[in-house]
Amino acid sequence: MTPILVLDIETIPDVAGIRRLDDLPASMSDAEVADHAFAARREKTGSDFLPHHLQCVAAISCVFRDRTGLRVRSLGTVEDGEAALIQSFYRVIEKYTPQLVSWNGGGFDLPVLHYRALIHGISASRYWDLGEDDRDFKWNNYISRYHARHTDLMDVLAMYQARANAPLDALAKLCGFPGKLGMDGGQVWTAFREGRIEEIRNYCETDVLNTYLLYCRFQLMRGAFSPDEYADEIAFVKQSLAQESAPHWAEYLAAFADTAAPGGAPG
């Protein structure tokens, strides 16, 4: 079994980068720098959403599924800086060469990681291999949009048409999964300023599990899972979560109790 690595990140404004690029005075607080960037972005695009290279990674959460089990974890610790988190992600790629799965990873998560890895001088040779070291990567690598070594579920399901994209939370709930719990991406910057890093990591973990569950449903749809295999995997996910002691998993399981069979019927 090829290990499966499902990815989700949470980001905050790159305050240090914005200070440098806009030559802002040291007297401005981090919140004021971010508000300055949001205002400039709103004037230009009508949205607060900052460009990818000005997003700083606050959390990286992953589902890792192999023949030994399923683990949902946030990489690094609450004390780790951005560079350590990003290096940890690429280290997993280097060690396992997993099947990478995301929701909008091609449009957001991976480009952000690319820019931030470039800024920090992080090496990721296995991830960037296009066939120079492993000939198989010429025809199936993490970078090419239509290769399957990275499956961006949102992109694939939308047939690579942006106008057909669906939000993760909505589709997860439509499929009978819990969806987002605790917060959403728009609240991460406030939570970060208040020191609620663990809460951000917990939120990111539930989001990445939603992505894995949708990947399981996708495998059922494309025939890679039989109905029985799909049901067994969903049951295995629930059993795995039941062994976790963190409170957010108890909340997630409670929301999951009567869902997950196709069509939103009880699982």
List pLDDT tens digits, range 169-197. Answer: 999 999 999 998 878 788 999 999 999 99
Can you state the angle between helices 197-221 and 247-256, rounded to 10 degrees? Answer: 30
pLDDT, position 183 = 80
Distance between CA atoms of residues 185 and 190, nearest Å: 10
pLDDT, position 265 = 45
pLDDT, position 201 = 97
Contact 204, 74 (CB under 8 A): yes
pLDDT, position 259 = 54
- Domains, in order of start, for the chain: 4-264 (3.30.420.10)
Could you give the residue ranges of the DSSP H alpha helices within the chain? 15-22, 30-45, 82-96, 110-120, 153-157, 168-174, 188-193, 197-221, 227-242, 247-256
Distance between CA atoms of residues 176 and 213, nearest Å: 10
Distance between CA atoms of residues 7 and 23, nearest Å: 34
pLDDT, position 181 = 84
What pLDDT digit, counting tens, does each position of 191-238 carry? 999 999 999 999 999 999 999 999 999 999 999 999 999 999 999 999
Mean pLDDT throughout 105-123?
Answer: 97
Residue carrying structure tokens 């091609």: 106
What pLDDT digit, counting tens, does each position of 58-86 carry? 999 999 999 999 999 999 999 999 999 99
Smallest Cα–Cα separation from 86: which of 116, 63, 64? 116
